[in-house]
Amino acid sequence: MEKLRFFNSDLPHNVLSRLPTKTLLGLKCVSKGWHKIISERSFIQDQLQKHKPIISGFIFQGKYQWCNEDIKIVSYIPVESKVSQVQQMVFDFLPEVVVILASCNGLVCCRSCFPAQDPAIYVCNPSNKQWIRLNSAKPDQHSTIGLVFDPARDPVNISTKFKLVRVKQLKIEEKEEEELYYTFEVYSLETGTWTKSNEICHCNSNLVKNKSVYVGGILHWQTNGDKVLTYHVENELSWLISVPVPATEFNTIPEACIGDSEGKLHYVMISEEGLHIWFLEDYFEIQWTLKYSKSLLEIEEEHPRFYNLHERVTQRVTYDMDPWMVPLAFKDGLLLMRVSAKLYLYHIETGMMKGSLRSCQIGSKLHVLSCGASLFHELGSVESGIGRSSSVDF
């Protein structure tokens, strides 16, 4: 009889553990028992081991090129629906309008829109509308921040933990020639303070697209100098990674972005030679492996809407010219790119191209983040009592 009782109590766990993450997010509302099972850390870690991480969509926000004013509209493109069905009320559960900064494993970091009387940084989970306000982590308008959240590494039965890494570029004053370097500050949820790392990284290149990619315990930022800036959060080490092919190898100016898929850093480039995607095989030897390659002519043949694609891409010979085709973000085999004034989702394995949206309505520049469905509902300590629409001061 005891064995039968154990079997019956374990049955819901076994059944639910076989379902995909997106389905489980809806089933949490069925009953208190199911909600408890799905919210257990042991159940979540089982899910991470059994199922591949899923991307639910891309979050993007416009950014003016010639002024510092923040654009308040944040849009979301669901992966499983047409791109034209863009949602613009993604963060309406927050107490104020925000600017997105970073995303990692289902959590999103954002800040108050400027000007603001009491600016703050928020970390939230759009899947269940939970958020916390980090009052001691005062933002500024030009901060570059990376979000670190690795649920697979957290022990079972502890609250969700995350860290923020703020990157600053400084100048060595004693040098006659301009020499720049990067410094790193880490915000810990446990201490509620910023701690400056002793690590610095000499680099005269600027960060581009202001988007971090977290893979294997390492944060990555793309630069405009054929390098990727990295920072190992636990070891507090930073170094530069050379990109697979430098921009000087081409007659025209290529466009690129970084992303991640299958636990590896990826580098996406669109040039006169076509669309190419590499993944980083070895950090120490800096060995890139070509994963995908398609010429502009092949893309045009598969998608006739991109008429005369090669000529349009190769027309850009100076940086003040607007590029025709730009890779914006890459996550789990999906590429979000801008072609002329429209946005497209491109599945590299199937070659399928999804929908379009006029990007000219949201500013001349785009800040794009990938967003995944997350089961994690505890932001902060269990004792804090964070609800679906409340905040906690740290």
Cα separation, 262 vs 212, in Å, equals 17
Predicted local distance difference test score (pLDDT) of residue 275: 97
Cα separation, 102 vs 97, in Å, equals 16
Look at residue 394 and tell me if it is in a domain.
Answer: no
Last residue of a domain, one of 11, 29, 51: 51
Phi-psi domain of 99 (left: phi exceeds 0; alpha: psi -120 through 50; beta: other): beta
Bridge partners, 74 (sequence order): 61
Domain identity same for 43 and 98: no
Domain identity same for 203 and 351: yes
Look at residue 392 and tell me if it is in a domain.
Answer: no
Can you give the residue range of the structural domain that contains 43? 1-51
Cα separation, 89 vs 76, in Å, equals 8
Q: Which letter does DSSP use for residue 374 in this model? A: -
Which residue type, as a one-letter code, is found at position 132? Answer: I
Domain identity same for 165 and 279: yes
Q: What is the CATH number for 206?
A: 2.120.10.30
Predicted local distance difference test score (pLDDT) of residue 393: 31
Predicted local distance difference test score (pLDDT) of residue 375: 43
Look at residue 389 and tell me if it is in a domain.
Answer: no
Cα 213 off chain centre by = 6
Domain identity same for 222 and 314: yes
Give me the sheet containing 144-148, strands edge to edge: 144-148, 163-171, 180-188, 194-202
Domain identity same for 298 and 181: yes
Look at residue 391 and tell me if it is in a domain.
Answer: no
> Under 8 Å CB-to-CB from 223, ≥6 apart: which residues?
203, 205, 206, 207, 208, 229
Look at residue 83 and tell me if it is in a domain.
Answer: yes
Bridge partners, 259 (sequence order): 266, 330
Look at residue 393 and tell me if it is in a domain.
Answer: no
Burial, 383: exposed, middle or buried (Cβ in 10 Å; 0-12, 13-18, 19+)? exposed
Domain identity same for 122 and 22: no
Look at residue 255 and tell me if it is in a domain.
Answer: yes
Domain identity same for 112 and 193: yes
The sign one gets for the Cα dihedral 320, 324, 325, 329 is positive
Domain identity same for 145 and 287: yes
Domain identity same for 226 and 279: yes
Domain identity same for 217 and 121: yes
Q: What is the dihedral of CA 74, 79, 84, 86, to 10 degrees?
A: -20
- Write down the residue that tokens 């988007």 correspond to: 211
Which residue type, as a one-letter code, is found at position 235? Answer: N
- pLDDT by 10s per residue, the chain, length 394: 444 444 445 666 666 666 666 676 666 677 777 666 666 666 666 665 555 555 678 888 887 777 778 888 888 888 776 555 667 778 999 999 999 999 998 899 999 998 888 889 999 988 878 899 987 777 877 779 999 988 766 544 445 688 999 999 998 877 667 789 999 999 988 788 899 999 999 999 999 866 899 999 999 999 999 999 999 999 999 999 999 999 999 999 999 999 999 999 999 999 999 999 999 999 988 999 999 999 999 999 999 989 899 999 998 888 888 899 999 999 999 999 999 888 889 999 998 888 766 554 444 466 677 666 544 434 433 222 233 333 333 3
The tally of domains found in the chain comes to 2
Cα 232 off chain centre by = 17
Predicted local distance difference test score (pLDDT) of residue 115: 81
Domain identity same for 271 and 312: yes
Q: What is the DSSP string of 182-233?
A: EEEEEEETTT-SEEEEEEEEE--SPEEEEEEEEETTEEEEEESSSEEEEEET
Look at residue 390 and tell me if it is in a domain.
Answer: no
Domain identity same for 196 and 337: yes
Q: In the chain, which residue ranges form alpha helices assigned H by DSSP?
A: 2-16, 21-27, 32-39, 41-50, 296-302, 309-314
Cα separation, 229 vs 200, in Å, equals 11
Predicted local distance difference test score (pLDDT) of residue 381: 30
Cβ contact 24:375 at 8 Å: yes
